[in-house]
Amino acid sequence: MNTRYIILPMLCMCMAVAAQNNIEHHHAEDSTDVFFRHLQMNEVTVTGVTGDTKLKHSTTPVNIVTSKVLRSTASTNIIDAISHQPGVSQLTTGSSISKPIIRGLGYNRVVVMSEGVRQEGQQWGDEHGVEVDGNSVGYVEILKGPASLMYGSDAMAGVVILHPQSILPEGDMRANFSSEYQTNNGLFGYNLSMAGNKKGFVWDGLFSHKMAHAYKNKYDGYVPGSQFGEKAGRLMLGLYKPWGHSRLTGTLYHLTPSIVEGERDEVTGELICSTDNIKTYGKALPFQKINHYKIVWDNFLNLPKGYLKVILGYQQNQRQEFEESEDAYELYFKLHTMTYDFRYVTQEFSGWKLSAGIGGMYQQSSNLGEEFLIPDYKIFDGGIYATATKTLGDRWTISGGVRYDHRYMHGNELEEEGTLRFNNFTRSFNGFSGSIGAVCNINKHFNVRANLARGFRTPNMSEMASNGVHEGSIRYEIGSQNLKAEYSLQADLGMDFTSRYVSAQVALFANKINNFIFMHRLPEVMKDGYLTYAYTQGDARLLGFEAGIDFHPIHSLHFANTFSYVDAQLLNQPAESKYIPFTPAPHWTSELKWELLHHSHATVAHHHEPGVTHHALFNNLYVAAGLDCYLKQTHIYSVDETETMTPSYMLLSFSAGTDIQWKGKKIVELYITADNVLNTAYQNHLNRLKYADVNNVTGRRGVYNMGRNVTFKLVVPLSL
């Protein structure tokens, strides 16, 4: 089941297990021991705020999604797996492509970090997902709010940090096999991994494969073009010694998603299928072929008064689109990205902890196909930053920092059939960003946090230089080379309370963005037979909050509820165009979870047989029921029907999970999840397929989301 736990800064229960995955602590610990220790000490460490920071000292909102939650969640990709966290949504195209949305902002306003470097894969596109295999992710850290201080341009809405699996303790070697099956789209996936640690020499290898045919729902039946295939691999070799560590990681990711066009038969209203077998696992035209390769060199050096961290990365993204033939691509982007990050962090002295660093990237993109949307381009950027944290007694922590960024962008000229398609141009951007915040640990139960941050984002190449048909968005797009950089000023206020029986949190935010870039339609303009849209900019403001409460009257029973809301408006606009497009609808989640068997009570001795100890067959057994409620979204950009209102809907789900043991040793983890149990026909407001063709028979527009789906997942740990 998609988790319903709100994981804001004080929800220790959902974050405690993550401590065992901390990249600077390489000990495999019993999850129950970790839970109780950190429930008492509240010393979970987060890495993405201003260096390594204890959770109770974090001044900004942070969510942690643990490895246990990821394993027990039914999803089709890693963003889908975290999309039910408070304040987090996903923009979807079919079942294989998901883009993270944080507090109403996405695309190049959210940075995704993987293997310690920013993931770069043409993320400006509507139909471009995140090229990371979810099986390679140990746990996820989500920063909400401007994080330009640590991550530079593009981290205006927040950061999603995909942490790798933890390093095993000395002398340990393990293998792991997992497999899953989903009934709705026939998704079948498996992965095999092996890791070890021999006298400080560590290794970790993984291979995974996933495939799915078209999904179905009550109104559309099977949806042609929603099938996909995915393969991924990862290999890490490293050395861990008292002086620090050095590790080299290589990953490859291959995704072949077909494209849902949503075209219908004018007479019957049924979706048109280009293949004879609607349930084929093979690709069908049109489709994409995405290859992403990455190599990262991660170094950590202990110094007398601190540590130095150096991360260098190279990644290549190849994105091809096939429309008329499986052997000839029409569109082909090839993107090279080199990233660097040097960071020095001091040990704590007199309550102070300081850090400073430089980071940036070099990027080059080429068009190798016959169709063009953006020009060939180069980007070079760099930033320098410094942060400071001061602890005042046992209650107060104050932290902040400043950063300066410079980005150079150059687009190449392209002449097509005697007509100038793209002109030669160069732009440079400079920006300052920073933050200041404080947290007061009033007592061991209650905390108050406040933060003020300035974010910075340069226009991307699509916004500046687009001139062509964007097949994934079914429109002709025109960029503007006169766009200015975006600047945001966001205030956050959070309060959280934790006791033996209740955990409650609320996080409020107000965000003002100057020069906000958005797209609008050019009325009565058609290019190449497509409606034409152009990029422009103005000022915007976003207001919202996330709130949650978890009742646990007894240790084994939890009743968790969360609510997320964001109001995103363009300033100085008429009523029909004042709301920012693709703003998530208000979202309420509720889950009742009963842990029938707990880890600490798993092994039972029966004394009626002297000398014989009987071990429980099941361990960590739970059952849960969940309810997702999306309220009606009336805040839409309605000009030229760019958006339409989305009605409210509710989704019911059930789940169960257990460890299966033999002679006191875990041999299998088993999870069963039933999503959308009532087979509700719905369209999420962030589903791009909502605007596909109208069904002439029923009058309904677009393609609906997935119907009832039952997921079976097995995880088999092997100790070698």
Successive 10-residue mean pLDDT values, the chain, 720 residues = 34 32 35 35 58 73 88 89 90 83 90 94 81 93 83 88 92 94 96 95 97 96 95 97 96 94 92 90 91 97 95 96 90 95 93 93 93 92 93 90 95 87 94 93 91 93 88 79 94 92 94 92 76 90 95 89 96 91 94 81 45 69 96 91 91 95 89 97 92 92 95 89
How many of the other CB atoms lie within 10 Å of CB of 378?
16
What does the block give as tokens for 397? 């922590």
Specify the pLDDT at position 31. 34
Q: Beta 173-182 vs 709-719: how paired, if at all?
A: antiparallel
Nearest to 550 by CA among 540, 538, 539, 563: 563
What does the block give as tokens for 132? 């990371």
Yes or no: say if 32 and 599 are a contact pair by the CB < 8 Å rule. yes
Nearest to 582 by CA among 130, 89, 142: 89
What does the block give as tokens for 709? 């789906």
Query: What distances in angstroms separate CA 498 from CA 62, 187, 393, 548, 550, one per listed residue?
Result: 16, 39, 21, 12, 9
One-letter identity of residue 122: Q
Dihedrals phi, psi of 306, to nearest 5 degrees: 165, -155
CA–CA distance, 141 with 112 (Å, rounded to integer): 10
Rg of the chain over Cα atoms, rounded to whole angstroms, equals 25
Query: What pairs with residue 687 in β-bridges?
Result: 92
116 CB-contact burial (10 Å; exposed 0-12 / middle 13-18 / buried 19+): buried
What are the strands of the beta sheet with 117-118, ordered from one edge?
Answer: 62-65, 137-144, 158-164, 110-114, 117-118
Dihedrals phi, psi of 653, to nearest 5 degrees: -140, 155
Specify the pLDDT at position 49. 57
Yes or no: say if 201 and 239 are a contact pair by the CB < 8 Å rule. yes
Q: Is the dihedral of CA 12, 668, 591, 597 positive or negative?
A: negative
CATH number for the domain whose boundaries are 12-719: 2.40.170.20
Residues 652, 657, 659: CA angle, nearest 5 degrees? 175
Strand runs (DSSP E) across 631-699, as ranges? Answer: 649-662, 665-675
Sorted by sequence, the CB contacts under 8 Å of residue 283 that are 6+ apart come out as 227, 229, 256, 258, 326
- Taking each continuous run of H as one helix and of E as one strand, the counts in the chain are 6, 37
CA–CA distance, 421 with 415 (Å, rounded to integer): 5
Q: What is the DSSP letter of 199?
A: T
Yes or no: say if 117 and 128 are a contact pair by the CB < 8 Å rule. no
Specify the pLDDT at position 608. 47
Q: Beta 188-198 vs 173-182: how paired, if at all?
A: antiparallel
Place of tokens 């994409």: 288
* pLDDT tens per residue across span 133-142: 999 999 999 9
687 CB-contact burial (10 Å; exposed 0-12 / middle 13-18 / buried 19+): buried
Residues 287, 292, 296: CA angle, nearest 5 degrees? 170
What does the block give as tokens for 520? 């609008």
| Omega prior to 286 cis, within 30 of 0 | yes
How many of the other CB atoms lie within 10 Å of CB of 366?
14
CA–CA distance, 196 with 263 (Å, rounded to integer): 51
Query: What distances in angstroms separate CA 419 from CA 120, 414, 423, 526, one per listed residue?
Result: 31, 9, 11, 18
